A and B are shown apart, each in its own frame.
Chain A
Amino acid sequence: MSSRYLGNKIAQALITIFIVLCINFFLFRIMPGDPLSMLMRNPRASQQAIQKAKEFYGLDQSLPVQFGRYLQDLLKLDFGVSFMFKKPVTEVIGGKVGPTLLLLGVSEIMAIVLGIYLGIVAASHRGKIVDIGTISVSLLLYSLPTFLLGMVLILIFSVYWGLFPSTGMVTAAARYATLWRQFLDLLSHLFLPAITLALTLIGEYGMLMRSSLLEVLSEDFIVTARAKGLREREVIRKHGYPNALLPVVTAISINLGLTIAGAIQVETVFSWPGIGRLMYDALNNRDYPLLQGIFLLVCICVIVANLFSDLLYMVLDPRVKS
């Protein structure tokens, strides 16, 4: 049974990816404006040079032919050549995926652990001062614009206390005595953006966990558990928390996929060289191949995260298997 369930899910994911591929391809091409005018800024560019550039980027063919070629190349994992960088898209994106994953990975882990913990604390003290405090802080963090939070943290940690750098991923042009030093430099640059992103997510996850747990705690089986004489701690740990986790897992895994693109604000405030900023630049420059590559990546991330959450459900919720 479970292998069929898995097979279905994977087939669905593949179909979704194909549909997204098609939309990506045509969406950018119906956007107003001609990419060549960005490529060839010179109004006096010779016809020869324009023709050469068109051929180089495959823009000399009709749309269906371009699409066919695009699909063919994709099978060979060739995403085309970026207009802006004049390098293969895989190479351009490859250079930016690392920083984004690092930033997201660190902040998501912090946010998941702390968010869920806060949610449990709040729910188990419902109506008390701890709960009210947690809700207020979570709401504040959740609703705070990321760039504002980032600026405030820069002001406090970089400008007033001088503890952490405010821009970039490494100190530009630094020479490191040891690999360890280089690692510490990276860590100090990572600190503020990761905290910023984590704080906004903590609020979100905390609120989610709290409301989910509260809902579970009002179920009949919880009453039963309490009637059995279990202590409140045990009730939450054994019966409440595992059940409350299910909707939170879904929300977090969808979020995981989306934050790849959503880190754009943090990346902008801290000049972090990641995918979010790359996407923004690519959009401004009408860099079709690069845009397609990034959108495909984001879409795959969302789909994989969804698939992952489905699989996780199988582990967490025995009912799904049947």
Chain B
Amino acid sequence: MFVSPSFRISKKLGLILLIALLAVSAFSTVLKVGWTVEPDSVSPFIAYNLPAAEVFLLLYDPLVALNDQEEPAGKIAETWELSEDQLTWTFNLHEGIRWHDGEPLTAEDVKFTYELFINTGLGLFSGFLNGIESIECPDDFTVMIHTAEPKANMLMGNTPILPKHIWETVAEEDLELWENEPAVGSGAFAFLEWRKGEYLRLKANADYFFDKPKVEEVVFILFANNDTLAQALKTGEISAAVNINPMQLPQLSQSPNLLAVSSPGYGFTQLAFNCWESEDSKGHPALLDKRIRQAIDWALDKQAILDMTYLGQGEVGTTLIPPILQKWHYKPGDSELRVYNPEKANALLDAAGYLMGNRKIRVDSQGNELNFRLYLRSSNTQEIKAGQMIKKYLQAVGIEVSIETVDDGLLMDLIYADAEFDMFIWGWGTDVDPTTILNVMSTNEIFGLSDCFYSNEEYDRLLSLQASQMDVTQRQETVFAMQRILYEDSPYAILFYDNEFQAVRTDLFSGWKRIPEKGAFFFTINANNYVTVTPK
């Protein structure tokens, strides 16, 4: 008696809902991308994370962009030339480019943007402009940039050009509180709506100067966890997903309507050591001895860690620049390469004066134990797994590790405010140009970006040398030498080069392209997929 009427109602309701669903899912010219992290801001002076960098590629154009082969390709600048002394760059801009609000884009915008980044030093892009001395605009569509030394990475920065008429109204000291919403750019997509914690909508720029997007909108949808990401892709709620759970890849690759990739990414995960040689350092003094750091590297079975945390998707780490950057990655020779070998680790620790004590922990002659604090980020389950395995591997060679799991903010404080740590795990993303990541390890960056407080004079010398080497082969040699120094000194034990896990619907959209050849669809070196992808 009780059951039948309510059952009838729910059946009817189900039918209505079904119809509603069909009615709503009919807009396929909207490209919906699911992601798990949203930008920290859409202001290039506030944002520091990768999703923000991805959105800047859509909203703004640089002077010179990168093509699918990682080579410079003109964007706002149609052509450019370098003076004979290699100190003056002249960029000839396209005429007729307009901002999303209709104002024309001129050389003054370029000068203004570069100077604002240089003067404030804020954001992801200012580092790329190091070495620029002065900028002049002989006419509306010509920009001349003078540098003190030849500048090897002048064309590699992807620095977004911003509209002067908007940003000149913001006082410099207010830049870090000014949210830039709605953002006005000149890129292929214009800012439409951002509901933080839900979605970010961008609209195709109908007046785009270059090839116009084939979709009407791009909507980035934030997922609170990456397990449902794969499900939503299967149901068609989204047409593309970044940062999929690697455990779901094998299953996704079996679907005929999906293209799932696990591709080498521009970055790595490292176990970092506190190398600060200062009275103020709160790190364990034993870690200042490079033999101990090398011993730790020998003691880790990185392949096993990679298998356990990412199902083997990725590559075991060695030197600072990931192998996807073929031109710059230095591959250690057989004599240098450290591959899992506990005996070598034990021998190095013995040689460093730390002998096995009673508690199966090594001690030096004064009775100081090898006992390190390892900080892990609570937000990253893979890093936590890796940390637990590292603890076991180090225990086996007589090093005690106490794990502390903290939130990202606290870890940043521990590292950057006081250098109060022994070891921690996190990762870096790299650019196509090697300068940014190489710079992280320079003495100059202590209390800047340096997270291991490493310092080496020869390394610092080579860093400025490579920045001015216009000849690729010469620069390559310098960059290799720098990585050799780092690998020998081992301020990081680079655990692995992480893969990107992404998947797209091939039945809803065509024209997906991996960038570069074996790369991913999104979060790569340019935004071409968003523009070329076509609704079916």
Write the residues of chain A forming the contact surface with B, with a CB cutoff of 8 angstroms: 32-34, 37-38, 40-46, 48-49, 52-53, 56, 85-86, 96, 151, 154-155, 158-159, 162-169, 171-177, 181, 184-185, 187-188, 191, 267-273, 277-278, 281, 283-286
- Name the segment of B24-32, B285-293, B340-348, B477-485 touching the other chain: B24-32
Chain A neighbourhood of B447, CB < 8 A: 43
Q: A34 CA to B16 CA in the complex, in Å? A: 51
Known: A37-B413, A155-B231, A181-B24. A168 touches B198 (CB 8 A): yes
Q: Mark B218-243, 1 if CB is under 8 A from A, else 0.
A: 01011111011001101101000000
B112 nearest CB across to chain A (Å): 19
B224 nearest CB across to chain A (Å): 4
Asked whether B17 is an interface residue with its Cβ less than 8 Å from the other chain, the reply is yes
Q: A252 CA to B495 CA in the complex, in Å? A: 50
A73 nearest CB across to chain B (Å): 19
Asked whether B9 is an interface residue with its Cβ less than 8 Å from the other chain, the reply is no
Main SS of the interface on chain A? loop
**In the complex, chain B residues 4-58 whose Cβ is within 8 Å of any chain A Cβ:** 14, 16-21, 23-25, 27, 30, 32, 34, 40, 46, 48
Q: A181 CA to B24 CA in the complex, in Å? A: 8
Known: A163-B18, A269-B225, A271-B222. A281 touches B197 (CB 8 A): yes
Can you list 24 A-B contacts with CB-CB less than 8 angstroms, sorted by A residue number?
Answer: A33-B407, A38-B412, A42-B121, A43-B416, A44-B121, A45-B122, A49-B176, A52-B176, A86-B177, A151-B227, A154-B231, A166-B232, A167-B221, A168-B198, A169-B198, A173-B201, A181-B23, A191-B17, A269-B228, A271-B228, A273-B195, A273-B198, A281-B197, A284-B409
Q: Mark B168-208, 1 if CB is under 8 A from A, else 0.
A: 00000111110100000000000000011111010000000
Chain B neighbourhood of A177, CB < 8 A: 23
Asked if residues B449 and A166 are in contact (CB atoms below 8 Å), the reply is no
Asked if residues B416 and A171 are in contact (CB atoms below 8 Å), the reply is no
B258 nearest CB across to chain A (Å): 13
Given contact pairs A37-B417, A46-B173, a sample of 4 additional A-B residue pairs in the complex whose CB atoms are under 8 Å apart? A166-B228, A173-B201, A173-B217, A271-B224
Asked whether B123 is an interface residue with its Cβ less than 8 Å from the other chain, the reply is yes
Asked if residues A37 and B409 are in contact (CB atoms below 8 Å), the reply is yes
Asked whether B79 is an interface residue with its Cβ less than 8 Å from the other chain, the reply is no
Q: A174 CA to B29 CA in the complex, in Å? A: 11
B288 nearest CB across to chain A (Å): 23
Chain B neighbourhood of A166, CB < 8 A: 228, 231-232, 235, 237
Q: A281 CA to B197 CA in the complex, in Å? A: 9
Q: A166 CA to B409 CA in the complex, in Å? A: 31
Q: A136 CA to B158 CA in the complex, in Å? A: 61
Chain A neighbourhood of B176, CB < 8 A: 40, 42, 45, 49, 52-53
Residue in A closest to B19 when the chains form the complex, CB atoms:
A184
Asked if residues A172 and B174 are in contact (CB atoms below 8 Å), the reply is no
Chain B neighbourhood of A37, CB < 8 A: 409, 412-413, 416-417
Contact residue among A165, A174, A277 (Cβ-Cβ distance under 8 Å from B224)? A277
Contact residue among A164, A267, A278, A283 (Cβ-Cβ distance under 8 Å from B17)? A164
Q: A7 CA to B267 CA in the complex, in Å? A: 63
Known: A34-B417, A42-B121, A277-B197. A165 touches B173 (CB 8 A): no
Asked if residues B122 and A42 are in contact (CB atoms below 8 Å), the reply is yes
Chain A neighbourhood of B17, CB < 8 A: 163-164, 184, 187-188, 191
Chain A neighbourhood of B123, CB < 8 A: 42
Asked if residues B237 and A52 are in contact (CB atoms below 8 Å), the reply is no
The 7 closest A-B pairs by CB, nearest first: A184-B20, A172-B199, A268-B224, A33-B410, A173-B219, A271-B224, A44-B121
Known: A44-B121, A268-B224. A159 touches B231 (CB 8 A): yes
Q: A37 CA to B21 CA in the complex, in Å? A: 44
Chain A neighbourhood of B20, CB < 8 A: 181, 184-185, 187-188
Number of A-B residue pairs with CB-CB distance less than 8 Å in the complex they form: 158
Asked if residues B18 and A175 are in contact (CB atoms below 8 Å), the reply is no
Residue in A closest to B126 when the chains form the complex, CB atoms:
A44
Asked if residues B449 and A43 are in contact (CB atoms below 8 Å), the reply is yes
Chain A neighbourhood of B121, CB < 8 A: 42, 44
Chain B neighbourhood of A271, CB < 8 A: 198, 221-225, 228
Chain B neighbourhood of A44, CB < 8 A: 121-122, 448
Q: A163 CA to B25 CA in the complex, in Å? A: 12
Asked if residues B231 and A32 are in contact (CB atoms below 8 Å), the reply is no
A87 nearest CB across to chain B (Å): 9
Contact residue among A85, A169, A173 (Cβ-Cβ distance under 8 Å from B32)? A173
Chain A neighbourhood of B34, CB < 8 A: 167
Asked if residues A52 and B177 are in contact (CB atoms below 8 Å), the reply is yes
Asked whether B510 is an interface residue with its Cβ less than 8 Å from the other chain, the reply is no
B201 nearest CB across to chain A (Å): 5
Known: A37-B412, A173-B201, A184-B16. A168 touches B448 (CB 8 A): no
Q: A174 CA to B221 CA in the complex, in Å? A: 13
Asked if residues A159 and B234 are in contact (CB atoms below 8 Å), the reply is yes
Asked if residues B228 and A165 are in contact (CB atoms below 8 Å), the reply is no
Residue in A closest to B220 when the chains form the complex, CB atoms:
A172
Asked if residues B174 and A52 are in contact (CB atoms below 8 Å), the reply is yes
Q: Mark B372-388, 1 if CB is under 8 A from A, else 0.
A: 00000001000000000
Asked if residues B228 and A270 are in contact (CB atoms below 8 Å), the reply is yes
Chain A neighbourhood of B448, CB < 8 A: 43-44
Chain B neighbourhood of A286, CB < 8 A: 409
Chain A neighbourhood of B21, CB < 8 A: 163-165, 185, 188
Asked if residues B228 and A154 are in contact (CB atoms below 8 Å), the reply is yes
B495 nearest CB across to chain A (Å): 24
Asked if residues A86 and B14 are in contact (CB atoms below 8 Å), the reply is no
Q: A184 CA to B14 CA in the complex, in Å? A: 11
Interface centre among B175, B406, B412, B416 (most CB of A within 10 A): B412
